[in-house]
A and B are shown apart, each in its own frame.
Chain A
Amino acid sequence: MTRPHIEPFVELNESYKPFKIPGFIGAHYKVLSLDVDTGACSLKVRFDGGFKRKPGMSYSDMELFVLEGGMLVDKEYYGEGHYLFLPAGMAMGAIEVPQGCEAIVMYNDSEPTYEESDAHHQLALKESYVSLNSYEDAPWAGGSIVSPSVATGCMLKLLHFDPLTEAMTFLYCMTPQFMQDNISYHDCAEESYHIWGTSWMLQFGDLPTGGYFWRPPYINHGSFRSKLGCIALGRTDSKLHNYFHFNPWTNPDENRSRAAATLYRQKPQLFKWVNAGGHNHPHGPQGQLEHPTPPADFEHPDYTDNAQVKILNEQEYTFHEMDHLHGNYDPDAAHAKAHTHGHAHDHGEGSDHEH
């Protein structure tokens, strides 16, 4: 397993512990969640006044969000609301904490590590570095940047976006009397720390100031309320898609199957290609396509009877019908490249063979 489902956890009820890992001695921490395999973790860290550390780097991506007080990093002041994304291997300047600071600190790939260095590692992906004051230097955007979208009154500030996985780190807020009457789940893990205010979800009740959750994929959450409003730091570990429904009793297996059914309906060609193990040709003893079994959808159990879904899933795209019109096309080279797997099949033009 990776990180367990921690929801809710109100860290304000817990005590800080002194760090004993080199590079962090003198700081105090609370673990919010921990990947039991890799050591990746989300921490709340207290740096007391007088804390100092020399320039250094970590072998993990690291994110930092200042909650209270501030710190000097290479003589630049990081005050409340400052957000930093520091890619693995990128050196962080010397830290100096004049009067104390509390921050959320996340190590995404491993346990907290530190190696003294004032130079970046040669493989560091420096272009993904982000440093800004999220309170002052980023605008609130409507939650509809994701669709299906949250209701009006939930806004966000995007702080970090990974172009490969579409993982996001963001501030979000709910206005007073925010309400959204649906149940949601996602393909991604979701994490949140309530900086201020209380929100409510049907499954878990109130999440107050200092409340935290790490929620693995496909777990129901919502409906949603916030009586007086709230502001929180949120993260996902990959693309966030809102799967909304109104069945309070589904489990993660049913939710995942329904998500796959959505893919079957909305991206049928991709679904088939993935389901075929990447073989871009018809399968079966006579060369016909073996249609993949449609995933179950608790909300629309008969969706495969829908005419449009049928049409979309009966379409075949091999992307090679017009190859002969391409001047530089070499069918032998293409054939050799396309078929590196080992099983019998039929090309449909009388050239059955085995690889």
Chain B
Amino acid sequence: MTAEAAEWMEEEVKVQECRYKGIVEEIDALEPQREQWTEDFLNIIQTKGFNVTGDQRRKIPKKDIPKKPDRPDALRVIW
């Protein structure tokens, strides 16, 4: 790797780390909306159905609807 490329990499890795942190903050701030979107989704798959493949839908019975787990990463969407 040339010296110019090494310098470029070093600088851009730092920029990307900052960007990643910014994305995590931005996406975490969507949490209240995401809770609502999740609730809407779980309703839709019980009424209109879940897309199994293509346009084939299957209605999911209430007893099979997943429950939010009690663990630290339950709400995490950026990994």
| Contact surface of A with B, Cβ cutoff 8 Å | 4-9, 20-22, 31, 33-34, 36, 39, 41, 110-113, 144, 147-152, 180-182, 202-205, 216, 219-220, 223, 242, 244, 246-249, 251-252
Contact = CB atoms under 8 A, between A and B. Distances in A.
Given A33-B16, A151-B55, A181-B50, 5 more contacts: A31-B16, A148-B54, A219-B77, A246-B50, A247-B66
Interface string B52-79: 1111010010000110110001111111
Interface in B24-60: 27, 30, 33-34, 37-38, 41-42, 44-45, 48-55, 57, 60
A249 B41 CA distance: 12
Contact of A246 (B1, B20, B45): B45
Contacts of A39: 1, 5, 9
B52 A202 contact: no
A350 B65 CA distance: 54
Given A21-B5, A246-B60, A251 B76 contact: yes
B79 A111 contact: no
A141 to B, nearest CB: 14
B8 A8 contact: no
A43 B65 CA distance: 41
A144 B53 CA distance: 9
Contacts of B77: 203-204, 219-220
Nearest to A218: B79
25 contacts: A5-B79, A7-B23, A7-B78, A8-B23, A20-B8, A22-B2, A31-B12, A34-B16, A39-B5, A113-B5, A144-B54, A148-B52, A149-B54, A150-B54, A181-B49, A182-B50, A203-B27, A203-B34, A204-B27, A204-B77, A219-B79, A220-B77, A246-B41, A246-B42, A252-B79
Interface of B: 1-2, 4-5, 7-9, 12-13, 15-16, 19-20, 23, 27, 30, 33-34, 37-38, 41-42, 44-45, 48-55, 57, 60, 65-66, 68-69, 73-79
Chain A interface mostly helix, strand, loop or mixed?
loop
Given A21-B5, A181-B44, A181-B48, A205 B53 contact: no
B78 to A, nearest CB: 5
Contacts of B54: 144, 148-152
Contacts of B48: 181
A60 to B, nearest CB: 11
B10 to A, nearest CB: 10
Contacts of B53: 147-149, 242, 244
Contacts of A150: 54
A27 to B, nearest CB: 13
Given A149-B54, A181-B50, A246-B45, A251 B73 contact: yes
A148 B54 CA distance: 7
Contact of B13 (A21, A34, A249): A34
Nearest to B9: A39
B8 A111 contact: yes
A147 B33 CA distance: 31
A316 to B, nearest CB: 32
A9 B50 contact: no
B77 to A, nearest CB: 4
Contacts of B1: 39, 110-111
Nearest to A4: B20
